[in-house]
């Protein structure tokens, strides 16, 4: 696969040219970006692959829902439905997509909708629930909407500044597009990243004066969650465990489980994988399955002995307060 991506290097120049031209036309006003009355907070990245957007969305919900009426709008990647869909208690994971469904299940009091047409989705969601703030998930490169505040996520060890354009690399947007971000979050850092390492990353990112760079790490719970019970890590010692992942980069989870002394086989699938009956039959023959929260919502009704490990964004230093103050300032400026 790596050899094929290298052979496609000339096509990456064509892709880069198209991306730069598109951004130029938006920057010059040839293509229009629509701004809405309701405050729009955008979360996204410049590359394909997992940067931690869903944990970041959940972090913002937890942070701001005690203070404002929130709504979330997602594209609903790989969902088996079309157009605008506002989730309710009858909505399925197939109709929403795995990550939106995960958020909907975790925060039933927060309105969640999916629509590939973000302009239409914002309009319909605003009319339906009258939110005070809409969190726009995975939409940094979606220039048809002009957000009021933007978070750009880039993972530690795979910064967008070190990447190249599709199909050779993973960039789907221009590196210069990073200047549109208000806060750049370096995700998936070691929990004890040094000041020297942070300084090296800052030199690579070269943030503008208006931008703040924050560092975060993924924090896993010590208890695995099932449909109706929890299981402590100690209870898994000596059991025959199968880890099932359908995410871009399962390495952090694999490393965490190994750090807890667990031995397991690992069945890795592609991101957003919907399991067929043959695969489900295979999983049903396993003694105990650990998976990600995103995969859990797809497998929960067809695989017994299934548990997931919740994961959360944690910020170094005053990151949480900085984000809260910035969004509070945004909201006060809108009142």
Identify which of 272, 268, 317 has the alpha carbon closest to the alpha carbon of residue 290.
268
Query: CA geometry: angle at 99 spanning 193 and 73, to 5°?
Result: 105
Query: Quick check: 210 and 182 in contact, CB under 8 A?
Result: yes
What would be the CATH architecture of the domain defined by 222-309?
A: 3-Layer(aba) Sandwich (3.40)
Answer yes or no: is 44 a known binding residue: no
49 marked among binding-site residues: yes
Q: How far is residue 247 CA from its own chain's centroid? A: 11
Architecture of the CATH domain 27-218+314-334: 3-Layer(aba) Sandwich (3.40)
Q: Above 60 in pLDDT, residue 1?
A: no
Ligand-binding annotation for 51, yes or no, is yes
pTM of the entire predicted model:
0.93
**Position 332 pLDDT exceeds 80:** yes
Residue 42: Cβ-neighbour burial (10 angstroms; 0-12, 13-18, 19+): buried
Q: Residue 326: how many CA atoms within 13 Å on its side-chain side? A: 21
Domain boundaries, the chain: 27-218+314-334, 222-309
- pLDDT given at position 99: 92
* pLDDT average, residue stretch 222-237: 88
3-state helix, strand, coil in the chain (%, to 5): 40, 20, 40
Report pLDDT digits (tens) over 128-178: 999 999 999 999 999 999 999 999 999 999 999 999 999 999 999 999 999
Q: Which of 162, 159, 165, 218 is nearest to 186 (CA)?
A: 159
CA torsion through residues 83, 86, 92, 94, sign: positive
User: Is residue 53 annotated as involved in ligand binding?
Assistant: yes
Annotated binding residue 97: no
Is the fold of 27-218+314-334 the same as that of 222-309?
A: yes
Q: Which residue has the higher pLDDT, 228 or 140?
A: 140
Q: Tens digits of per-residue pLDDT, 241-298?
A: 999 999 888 888 998 899 888 999 999 998 888 899 999 999 999 999 999 998 999 8
Q: What is the dihedral of CA 84, 86, 88, 92, to 10 degrees?
A: 40
| Cis status, amide bond into 176, omega within 30 of 0 | no
How do 183-187 and 149-155 pair as beta strands? parallel
Helix (H) or strand (E) holding 133: strand 133-137
- Asked whether 21 and 175 are in contact (CB, 8 A), the reply is no
SS3 assignment, position 227: coil
On whether 18 is known to bind a ligand per the annotation, the reply is: no
What is d(CA 227, CA 209) in angstroms, rounded to the nearest whole number? 47
């Amino acid at each position: 696969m790596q050899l094929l991506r290298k052979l496609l290097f000339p096509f990456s120049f064509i892709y880069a040219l198209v991306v730069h031209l598109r951004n130029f036309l938006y920057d010059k006003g040839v293509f229009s970006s629509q701004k809405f009355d309701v405050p729009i907070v955008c979360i996204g990245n410049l590359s394909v692959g997992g940067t931690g957007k869903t944990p970041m969305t959940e972090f913002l919900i937890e942070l701001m829902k005690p203070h404002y009426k929130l709504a979330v709008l997602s594209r609903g990647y790989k969902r088996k439905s079309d157009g605008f869909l506002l989730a309710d208690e009858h909505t399925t994971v197939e109709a929403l997509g795995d990550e939106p469904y995960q958020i909907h299940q975790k925060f039933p009091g927060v309105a969640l909708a999916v629509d590939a047409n973000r302009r239409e989705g914002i309009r319909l969601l605003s009319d339906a629930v009258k939110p005070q703030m809409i969190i726009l998930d995975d939409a940094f490169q979606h220039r048809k909407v002009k957000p009021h505040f933007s978070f750009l996520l880039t993972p530690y060890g795979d910064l967008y500044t070190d990447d190249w354009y599709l199909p050779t690399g993973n960039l789907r947007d221009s590196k210069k597009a990073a200047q549109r971000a208000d806060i750049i979050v370096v995700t998936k850092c070691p929990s004890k990243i040094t000041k020297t390492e942070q300084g090296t990353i800052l030199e690579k990112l070269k943030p503008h004066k208006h931008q703040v760079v924050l560092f975060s790490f993924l924090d896993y719970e010590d208890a695995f969650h099932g449909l109706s019970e929890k299981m402590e890590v100690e209870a898994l010692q000596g059991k025959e465990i199968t880890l099932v992942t359908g995410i871009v980069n399962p390495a952090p989870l694999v490393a965490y489980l190994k750090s807890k002394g667990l031995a397991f086989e690992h069945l890795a699938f592609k991101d957003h994988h919907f399991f067929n009956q043959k695969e489900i039959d295979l999983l049903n023959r396993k003694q105990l399955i650990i998976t990600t929260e995103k995969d859990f919502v797809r497998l929960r009704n067809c695989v017994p002995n299934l548990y997931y490990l919740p994961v959360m964004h944690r910020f170094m230093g005053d990151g949480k307060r900085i984000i809260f103050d910035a969004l509070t300032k945004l909201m006060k400026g809108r009142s």
